[in-house]
Amino acid sequence: MEKRVTFKGWLLPLCLIAPQVAISAVFFFYPAGQAIWQSLFIPDPFGLSSQFVGMGNFDFLLSDPYYRAAFRTTAIFSALVTLAAMVPALFLAVMADRLVKSAGAYRTLLIWPYAVAPAVAGVLWMFMFNTRVGVVAWYLGQLGYDWNHVLNGQEAMGLVVVASAWGRISYNFLFFFAALQAVPRSVIEAAAIDGARFWRRFFTIVLPLLSPTTFFLLVVNIVYAFFETFGVIHTITAGGPQQATTILVYKVYADGFVGQDLGSSAAQSVILLLVVGVLTVLQFKYIEKRVHY
């Protein structure tokens, strides 16, 4: 896509684009280059010199059971967050779509959590499930279930998943609702005339029509779970217990800033770069599809 009309000159456009290019260069490309460069070295314990190790950091990482565990944790975490954020959102959107008149009011109530920062969401959920003061934990205790996410890795995972998915339900709801509203009434009516009942219509007509939105949200939610849930994990579990909730982004932080292992942290950054790259390509595949409709 190109504009037919353009203005003449090259100095003005260079000036216009300069701020963005300068900021990108200083805060994006230079650090990314540094990450790649550092990933090839191991600094000595005193940080005075470093030794070139080539792929050594990567070899070490990929054979490191902790890193492989973090990969597995990230995969499970992302899958659960995506599921927990999308299914309820779709369900709510389908209901809201049937309540056309009052849908606006429900929507206003439902978008609140989107505005809540992941880190704040983490604090809210941690408060509810706190082993000492948490209301939900207490009521679970009354029911005979001894909740303790500080010690139980599975419970910890469940809690960070729910806390991470919570705000995303709003986001996904907005997209599903908009997509449902865009489904042509005539198609639904035609299906109704063909004798399809509500759930039948939903699964055979509506859901396939939603598939572009669903695919888009799938990618976006995975990206979210990978990169934007640091706040939730840091506030609720700090990666524990026994690294049960240490996802890749958390490990970059923990190894780099807490453990001061520069080479490993840089190598992890590079691996994450590759992951983002793949996800971005997926996302653009989606955009392309939309454009070619």
**Positions in 39-98 near another protein (CB under 8 A):** 88, 91-92, 95-96, 98
Output the CA–CA distances (angstroms, integers) from residue 177 to 186, 229, 283, in the order listed: 18, 24, 20
**CB closer to another protein, 88 vs 241:** 88
Q: How far is CA 190 from the centre of its chain?
A: 38
Residue whose CB is less far from another protein, 62 or 111: 111
Residue 52, phi then psi, degrees to nearest 5: -75, 130
Does the footprint of another protein cover residue 100 (CB under 8 A)? Answer: yes
Report which residue type is found at 198. Answer: F
Angle at CA 83, nearest 5°, toward 213 and 135? 130
Distance of CA 280 to the CA centre of its chain: 13
In 3D space, the residue among 202, 220, 215, 187 whose CA is nearest the CA of residue 94 turns out to be 202
Q: Which stretch binds another protein (CB under 8 A): 47-55, 63-71, 79-87, 273-281?
A: 273-281
Of 80 and 129, which CB lies nearer to another protein in the complex structure?
Answer: 129
Q: How far is the CB of 57 from another protein (least distance, A)?
A: 13
∠ at Cα 239 (31, 155), nearest 5°?
A: 145
- Report angle CA 263, 264, 269 to the nearest 5 degrees: 100
Does position 28 bind another protein by CB under 8 A? Answer: yes
Are 78 and 161 a contacting pair, CB within 8 Å?
Answer: no
Least distance (Å) from another protein to the CB of residue 203?
A: 16
Does 124 bind another protein (CB under 8 A)? Our answer is yes
For residue 51, report the phi and psi dihedrals to the nearest 5 degrees.
Answer: -115, 135
Report the residue number, 99 or 207, with the smaller CB distance to another protein.
99
Map residues 238-267 to x or -, x wherever contact with another protein holds by CB under 8 A. -----------x--xx--xx----x--xx-
Tell me the window of 51-59, 143-151, 152-160, 272-280 that interacts with another protein (CB under 8 A). Answer: 272-280
Q: In angstroms, give the least distance from the CB of 276 to another protein.
A: 5
> Which residues contact residue 195 at a Cβ distance below 8 angstroms, ignoring those fewer than 6 apart?
none
Name which of residues 192 to 231 contact another protein (CB under 8 A).
192, 216, 220, 227-228, 230-231
**Backbone φ, ψ for residue 139 (5° rounding):** -65, -35
Minimum CB separation from another protein for residue 208, in Å?
18
Length of the chain: 293
Could you tell me the smallest distance in angstroms from the CB atom of residue 244 to another protein? 20
Between 154 and 185, name the residue whose CB sits nearer to another protein: 185
Q: Which is nearer to another protein, 13 or 65 (CB)?
A: 13
3-state secondary structure of 62: helix
Nearer to another protein, 33 or 208 (CB): 33
